[in-house]
Amino acid sequence: MSTGAEAGDGFETRAIHAGQPPDASTGAIVPPISLATTFAQHAVGRHRGYEYSRSANPTRDALEHCVASLEGSHHGVAFASGLAAEDALLRTLDPGDHVIIPSDAYGGTFRLVARVHERHGIGWTAVDLREPGALAAAWRDETRLVWVETPTNPTLSIVDVEQVASFAHGLDARVVVDNTFATPFLQQPLALGADASVHSSTKYLGGHSDVVGGFVAVSDPDLADEVRFLQNAMGAVPSPFDCYLVLRGVKTLAVRMERHCANARLVVDMLRGHDAVARVLYPGLADHPGHDVAARQMRDFGGMVSFLAAGGEEAALDLVTRTRLFTLAESLGAVESLIEHPARMTHASAAGSPLEVDRALVRLSVGIESGGDLVADLARALDTVV
Ligand SMILES: Cc1ncc(COP(=O)(O)O)c(C=O)c1O
C-alpha cells in the first residue's frame, strides 16, 4: 500500500508524495480540500490534531510537510502571501533590533521593513551584500538579522549565502534567504547555512498565476515554534483551497524549472546579440559578477532575465507594449511569459530610496511556452522599438 514519501527519496518524488499519502478514510490520492473551520473533540482538549482551522488545517499540513521536505527541513509554515511570511520572520525581532537588507531587495520587502517595522522600533540598513566588507561596515551591536535575496528581484544579483551565514552566525545574528526566484529545486538555503528560507509561493511554487501565498522553512525547532506561533497569532493563513493549488503546483516544480531555465538561456542568447539591448543581467552568463557563486550554490540559473534597453526608459516603456506572447503584467514564476518595467511597476515603491532601480530596466519572467516562439516574439518587438 502506498504510504507517501520517505526521507531518502529524490526531489521529484518528494514533490509528489511528501505529506500526501492516500487519504486514510477514502484512499483519495489527492489530499482533500478540508473546508471545515472547526473539528470535533472526543473530550475537552482531546482531538486528532485539529481544533480550529486558523491554528491547523489538514490541507495546509499537507502543503507544509511537502514544501518543508523540498527545502530539506522538517519545519514549514504556510502564509496567506509572501509578504505575510516575511512579516512573521521580521516579527521575531524586538524593538531596538537592527536588520540588514540587500540594497536591491524586492520593493515590497523594502517597504515592509522601512515603512512598517521601522515604526515599531526596528532599525535597518540597506547594503550591497556582494561587496566584501560591506556587511561588516554596516554591522551594529543590535544587528540580529541579515536578509538575503539571491538571485535578487529585479537585478538578478547573486549573494554568497554560505559566506553571509558564517559571518552573521559568528556575531549571533540570523540569516533569512528569500528563495522565491530560485525555488528549492535550484537552491537550498538551509543546507547553505541560512536559518530560514522564505517564499512568495505566488510565484514558482504555485506556478500558474492563480494563487497568492507565502512560505517559511526553518531547521531550528525553536525558530519553527516561534514562526508557527506567529502564524496563528497574526492569522495570515492561506485558505485550504489556496493550499491545494500550491500543493498541486509544487508537484510539477522540477519539470517546470528545467524548462524555465532552458527557455531563459535561449532568450538570453538572443538578447545578447540585439542592438536594442545595452546589457543583459542573467547569472548564467560567464561575465555576470555572481556567476561563479551562482554556479556553486544553484543547480541552474533560473527563468528570470532582466536587461537594460539601449534607448533608455522611453524604449523600455515602448518595448513592454509590443510583445505578443510576453504579457505586460506584474508577478513572475508562472507557466506564461511576462514582461514588465520594474521602475514604474513592481519596484515603484522604491523610488527615491537606495533601492531605486534603473529606469531603462526591463524584467522578463520566461515561461514554459515553446522556446523558439518566445525568442521570435521578443526579437520582433525589439526590432521595432523606438
Ligand atoms: C522576491 C519576492 N519576495 C517576496 C514577494 C512578496 O510575495 P507576495 O506578493 O506573495 O506577497 C515577491 C513578490 O513579488 C517577490 O518577488
DSSP states of 178-233: E-TTTHHHH--TTTTT-SEEEEETTTTTT-SS----EEEEES-HHHHHHHHHHHHH
CA of 39 to the centre of ligand 1 (A): 33
What ligand 1 atom has the least distance to the C-alpha of 213? 10
Task: Give the pLDDT band of residue 325 (cuts 50, 70, 90).
Answer: very high
Task: Compute the average pLDDT of residues 204-226.
Answer: 98
pLDDT for residue 241 is more than 90: yes
Percentage with pLDDT > 90 across the chain: 92
pLDDT of 54 reads 98
pLDDT for residue 2 is more than 80: no
pLDDT of 329 reads 98
Largest CA distance in the chain: 73
Distances (CA, A) of 267 to 26, 239, 369, 375: 47, 36, 12, 5
Distance CA 323, CA 269 (A): 18
CA of 111 to the centre of ligand 1 (A): 12
pLDDT for residue 3 is more than 70: no
Q: Enumerate residues lining ligand 1, CB below 6 A.
A: 81-83, 106, 108, 149, 153, 178, 180-181, 200, 202, 212, 214
Task: Compute the average pLDDT of residues 160-167.
Answer: 97
pLDDT of 202 reads 98
Which of 81, 89, 200 best tests ligand 1's pocket when mutated (most atoms within 8 Å of CB)?
Answer: 200
Structure confidence by residue, pLDDT tens digits, 95-141 = 999 999 999 888 899 999 999 999 999 999 999 999 889 999 999 99
Distances (CA, A) of 71 to 62, 68, 375: 14, 5, 32
What ligand 1 atom has the least distance to the C-alpha of 212? 10
Distance CA 294, CA 182 (A): 10
Task: Compute the average pLDDT of residues 17-23.
Answer: 95
Task: Compute the average pLDDT of residues 357-361.
Answer: 96
β partners of residue 362: 307
CA of 128 to the centre of ligand 1 (A): 20
Which of 180, 215, 338 best tests ligand 1's pocket when mutated (most atoms within 8 Å of CB)?
Answer: 180
* SS3 state of residue 46: strand
Which of 203, 237, 330 best tests ligand 1's pocket when mutated (most atoms within 8 Å of CB)?
Answer: 203
Q: Nearest Cα to 228, choosing from 34, 45, 73?
A: 73
Percentage with pLDDT > 70 across the chain: 99
pLDDT of 65 reads 97
Copy the grid coordinates of residue 17: 508524495
Calculate the CA 270 to chain-centre distance: 27
Strand stretches in the chain, DSSP E: 75-79, 98-102, 123-127, 143-149, 174-178, 196-200, 214-218, 277-281, 304-309, 327-328, 338-340, 361-365
Task: Give the pLDDT band of residue 205 (cuts 50, 70, 90).
Answer: very high
pTM score, whole prediction: 0.96
Q: Considering only CA atoms, which residue is closest to atom 14 of ligand 1? A: 331
165 CB burial (10 A radius; 0-12, 13-18, 19+): buried
Distance CA 260, CA 366 (A): 6
Distance CA 104, CA 289 (A): 15
pLDDT of 162 reads 98
- Catalytic: which of 203, 265, 299, 363? 203
Task: Give the pLDDT band of residue 284 (cuts 50, 70, 90).
Answer: very high
Calculate the CA 45 to chain-centre distance: 37
CA of 42 to the centre of ligand 1 (A): 41
- Catalytic: which of 106, 204, 244, 282? 106
141 CB burial (10 A radius; 0-12, 13-18, 19+): exposed
CA of 331 to the centre of ligand 1 (A): 8
pLDDT of 1 reads 62
Task: Compute the average pLDDT of residues 79-103.
Answer: 98
pLDDT for residue 298 is more than 80: yes
Distance CA 126, CA 130 (A): 12
pLDDT for residue 12 is more than 80: yes
What ligand 1 atom has the least distance to the C-alpha of 201? 10
**Annotated catalytic residue 178:** yes
**Annotated catalytic residue 244:** no
CA of 329 to the centre of ligand 1 (A): 14
Among 69-73, 132-136, 173-177, which stretch is predicted with the lowest mean pLDDT? 132-136
- Catalytic: which of 61, 97, 178, 242? 178
Mean of all residue pLDDT scores within the chain: 96
Q: Cell 522601512: give the residue.
A: 114
